Amino acid sequence: MQRFFDSSVAHVVIPTVGKAGFGIGGARGKGLLIENGQPTAVVTLTQLTIGFQWGGQAYSEYLFFQDDVALQDFKRGNYELGAQASAVAVTAGASADADYSGGIAIFTRAKGGLMYEATVGGQKFDLEIAD
């Protein structure tokens, strides 16, 4: 994952996303958009899923922007990642061949909990630009 920190034009770090579900599920977390080493916006992640699911978990999420086009699309606000977007779980060696998709690379790191799921849903991101 270090190569993404080194090569991206900006990244989002959401240290803790809480997720729970029983038939209908949701997740929420807050983090920061970092540009040129400085926080420039507070980012709120909201997720809604429908399908077979049971349990709860906490994880961290990282988004990396390949270029200014992808970053500006994200900064316009109300950015959504649909069910087709996939995140790479950060484990030893698991992210070695990860790459950008549509200018964004997404990683998650499990923190705890247990979640069984076969769901459809998406994530929505809202930004509060810092002054």
DSSP string over 46-81:
EEEEEEEEEEEEEEEEEEEESSHHHHHHHHTS-EEE
Can you give the residue ranges of every domain in the chain?
2-129
| pLDDT tens, residue by residue, 4-48 | 999 999 999 999 999 998 888 899 999 999 999 999 999 999 998
**Would you call 56 exposed, middle or buried from its count of C-beta atoms within 10 A (0-12, 13-18, 19+)?**
middle
| pLDDT tens, residue by residue, 57-102 | 899 999 999 999 999 989 887 567 764 455 666 655 555 567 888 8
pTM, rounded to two decimals: 0.84
For domain 2-129, is the CATH number 2.40.128? Answer: yes
